[in-house]
Amino acid sequence: MGSCCSSEKVDEGVVVTPGNTTWRMFTYKELHTATNGFSDDNKLGEGGFGSVYWGKTSDGLQIAVKKLKAMTSKAEMEFAVEVEVLGRVRHKNLLGLRGYCVGTDQRLIVYDYMPNLSLLSHLHGHFAGDVQLDWKKRMKIAIGSAEGILYLHHEVTPHIIHRDIKASNVLLDSDFEPLVADFGFAKLIPEGVSHMTTRVKGTLGYLAPEYAMWGKVSESCDVYSFGILLLELLTGRKPIEKLPGGVKRTITEWVEPLIAKERFKELVDPKRRGNFDHNQLKQAIYVAALCVQSEPEKRPNMKQVVGMLKGYDTRGNLMQTRMDSVKYKEELLALDQRSDDDDDDDDDDGDGLEESCGVFGAMEVQKMQDPYNRYGNRKSSKHI
Ligand SMILES: Nc1ncnc2c1ncn2[C@@H]1O[C@H](COP(=O)(O)OP(=O)(O)OP(=O)(O)O)[C@@H](O)[C@H]1O
Ligand SMILES: [Mg+2]
């Protein structure tokens, strides 16, 4: 592991951006030491961009270091620009940068370590057996993560579409305040390579149908993914479950008939054992139902989502909303692979269903054609 970090110039340098945010450059050596040589014991998990390690700096700060898979040197500058953009983004519900390290063949990103790990770990992983995620916390997580996405969509310039909203990208601090992570990485894809040709973004189950099938990206793709996340948070179900016979069922397919019959109590995560606010549940379920509509134009924007979740906007006719559950085409479901999410440890959720929330091999989707040619111009899929 060699030369890293333009350390001779900017070792320990503190950079203050105009937004009054501070981050600093780390040396490879410093991060190597902090993570005990990137040892497996320190590994928090692995995602589409590389591995994440827990570490502690010499001044006692707990950090999470994302060690990106090697990229071409041409991408180095793009990386620097990208982290600078991310360095300027500051919101209580977004996991901002603590710093980074750039070398000829290494790129590492440093974040604050989130002691409660990800929402995924609480719903289906390490902490799934705990009853820590009470109703109040769930509402706080729903509203906070929606506010983080609202900021990305409407308040930061240039606007950012996340494209990978999911439970492992919602991290939780010691107070269970949610911090949405991993926004903006799509730009790290080297020039000339379509983002659709990599497994960089998206997990089947969270993907809006127009994105999954035709590569059409807009803010409403994030709204769709947020709707799935919200359903997951309320019900404790995974976005895609494999039924005993091997058939895969999406969370929307499961939820739809229960909403239609207004059997709300049956929707709630059984771990709540009936401890939830019925009105809030109903409202949140309807918000989710609005978010996961197949037609992107019908979905609310994140401002409306936040308003509704906070109860400012109750949309009188919500009761008429019917969920148009997404049934991914067979060929898409066939592409679904097992997830390599570390903190998804495959607990059986008690009803014999096996998890199958897989990483989506977007590569194959590119070959699919939009039969209606509605979204022909794939250039529109560029984010930021
Ligand atoms: N700052 C952090 N504090 C604590 N845990 C973290 C932190 N950052 C990431 N993790 C955890 O490390 C694991 C790997 O994260 P990573 O972002 O690489 O993959 P992912 O979220 O599963 O997928 P994706 O690449 O699509 O984001 C996840 O379980 C994530 O929750
Ligand atoms: Mg992530």
Q: What is the mean pLDDT of each run of 10 residues along the chain (384 residues)?
A: 36 42 84 97 88 95 88 62 75 91 82 95 82 89 98 86 92 96 61 37 82 84 96 95 90 92 87 83 93 94 95 56 57 57 36 29 33 35 30
Residue minimizing CA distance to atom 24 of ligand 1:
47
Residue minimizing CA distance to atom 13 of ligand 1:
45
Neighbouring CB atoms inside 10 A of 326's CB total: 20
Residue minimizing CA distance to atom 17 of ligand 1:
47
All domains of the chain, ordered by start, with CATH? 15-112 (3.30.200.20), 119-333 (1.10.510.10)
Going from the Cα of 168 to the center of ligand 1, the distance in angstroms, rounded, reads 6
| Ligand 1 touching residue 168 (CB < 6 A) | yes
| Ligand 1 touching residue 133 (CB < 6 A) | no
Going from the Cα of 12 to the center of ligand 1, the distance in angstroms, rounded, reads 25
| Ligand 1 touching residue 52 (CB < 6 A) | yes
Task: List beta partners, residue 178.
Answer: 172
Per-residue model confidence (pLDDT) at position 56: 97
Q: Provide the b/e sequence for 216-228 (b: ≥16 CB within 10 Å).
A: bbbbbbbbbbbbb
Which amino acid does the sequence have at 352?
G
* Atom of ligand 1 minimally distant from the CA of 50: 18
| Ligand 1 touching residue 181 (CB < 6 A) | yes
The sign of the CA dihedral 148, 154, 160, 163 is: positive
Q: How far is CA 259 from CA 158, 234, 289, 296, in A?
A: 37, 13, 9, 21
Q: Which of 164, 222, 341, 343 is catalytic?
A: 164
DSSP annotation of 180: E
CA atoms of 205 and 347, how far apart (whole Å): 18
As a whole number of angstroms, the longest Cα–Cα distance in the chain is: 66
Going from the Cα of 263 to the center of ligand 1, the distance in angstroms, rounded, reads 34
Pocket test for ligand 1, best of 35, 44, 109 (most atoms within 8 A of CB): 44
Neighbouring CB atoms inside 10 A of 140's CB total: 16
Annotation says 164 is catalytic: yes
Per-residue model confidence (pLDDT) at position 365: 34
- The verdict on whether residue 67 carries a ligand-binding annotation is yes
Per-residue model confidence (pLDDT) at position 255: 94
| Ligand 1 touching residue 97 (CB < 6 A) | no
Tokens of 280: 């809030």
3-class SS of residue 25: strand
For residue 53, the ligand closest to its alpha carbon is 1
Return the H-helix or E-strand segment holding 355.
strand 354-355
* Atom of ligand 1 minimally distant from the CA of 202: 26
Tokens of 139: 């509402």
| Ligand 1 touching residue 339 (CB < 6 A) | no
CA atoms of 177 and 116, how far apart (whole Å): 10
| Ligand 1 touching residue 361 (CB < 6 A) | no
Nearest Cα to Cα of residue 228 among 256, 200, 247 = 256
Going from the Cα of 185 to the center of ligand 2, the distance in angstroms, rounded, reads 10
Give the end-to-end CA distance of the chain in Å, rounded to a whole number.
Answer: 33
Can you give the C-alpha Rg of the chain in angstroms?
A: 20
Query: For residues 183 and 347, is the Cβ–Cβ distance under 8 A?
Result: no
For residue 164, the ligand closest to its alpha carbon is 1
